[in-house]
Every structure is written in structure tokens, then in C-alpha cells.
Copies of this chain bind each other. A is one copy, B any other.
Amino acid sequence: MKGTDMQVAIVLYPGFTSLDVIGPYEVLGRLPDTEVVFVAEEPGLVVNDLKSLSINVVATFDDVAEPDVVLVGGGPGQVRQMSSERLLEWLRTVDRTSKWTTAVCTGTFLLAAAGLLEGRRATTHWGALDGLADFGVTPSKERVVIDGHYATGAGVSAGIDMALTLAGLIAGDDVAQAVQLIIEYAPEPPYSAGSVDSAPAAVVERAWKEMSA
């Protein structure tokens, strides 16, 4: 299956959050001799949480047997995937040979549900963090957590930081820094409301409402 030195498999499912996966994709897809394959339970169009983005997936779980890196993003659709034995079994299987098994945002819960993170530290979206403990995982408020060969990132945009960290571990600091420069990742958010600790209380309340709508 692999025509390159490294294969990165990114899992998609209906109701995924696009930046969760595209942030890391843009980073990992630029590593030397690396092939990225989007993978889903069935081939065809996979529609995101906002319903306006459709990604065409060719590879199914059967087609991707030994990826070097596995990445699972989050999004509202993650809840339904928690009972997809097909996905969870695939995660357990590929994890046996993967160099890195990774998740962004609530994708962490899929690794947790597969039993892969038991006794480990991990992070996820701030709104869901406490729930990790239900799976025997120690929740961390860090933006990126590396524990063994597991890497997890906090909510949505944290996947970029997670992937750059991983890029450094996989390909070295020079390569990771060149990728950072190519994607001009020198962030200047116009507000400092990106974490629950820095956002004004009214903004946290509004975000909660939006997320539970």
C-alpha cells in the first residue's frame, strides 16, 4: 500500500470538524516522503459538522492496514462513532504497529473508547476535558500532550500545534520549522479569548450555549 517512507492516515466520519483534521494535514502532509490518506468506514463523500463541506474519501479501513501515523479529529459526529465497533477495532489494530497514534479535540475520546489511553495523560477540547477520566485517562489542560506513542491536542486549532510538535519528533526540528514557515504560522489572534482561562465570563457562557445548541 505504501509508496513512501511514511504513511499518515486521517480518519473522517460524518459530522467531523474540518479544522481538527485539516490543520494537522497541512503540517504532516508537508513532511518529506510522506503520503497522507483520508480513511473512512465507507468510501464516498463525508460531510462535516457545519454541513457545507464534503470531502471525498477513497480508502476504507480495510485499505489502510499499517499506517505510521494515525490521526482522529473531533466534532459533534464523534459521539456517534463512540459505538462504532468497526472504527474502534481498526484503531486498536493499527495502534499495534503505528509509530504515533494521535487525536485532536474530541477525537481523543475515540482513542479512549478504544481503550488505548488507559492510565495515560491526554488532552481534548476544553468543554469535554473532565469526561476523559471516565475512560481511565488523566485529563491534562496542556495544549499538546505526548505520552508514549500517543499525541493529543486540545480543541480544533490545537491540532496545528500538535502536528508541529509531532513533525519535530518525526523529522527533526529543522524540517518542522521549515513547515511552520511555509504555512507562515506566526499567529496573531485579534483577541485573547482562545482559552477558557483567558476568555471573559460572558464569552465562555456564549460559547457553551453555541456548543450545546
Contact = CB atoms under 8 A, between A and B. Distances in A.
A46 B174 CA distance: 32
Contacts of A199: 177, 180-181
A173 interface: yes
Query: Which secondary structure dominates chain A's binding surface?
Result: mixed
B182 A160 contact: no
Contact of A181 (B35, B161, B186, B196): B196
Given A18-B22, A178-B206, A191-B164, A184 B200 contact: no
Interface string A189-209: 111111110111011101100
Interface of A: 17-19, 22-23, 25-26, 29-30, 35-38, 45, 50, 52-56, 105, 125-126, 143-144, 154-158, 160-161, 164-165, 168, 173-178, 180-196, 198-200, 202-204, 206-207, 210-211
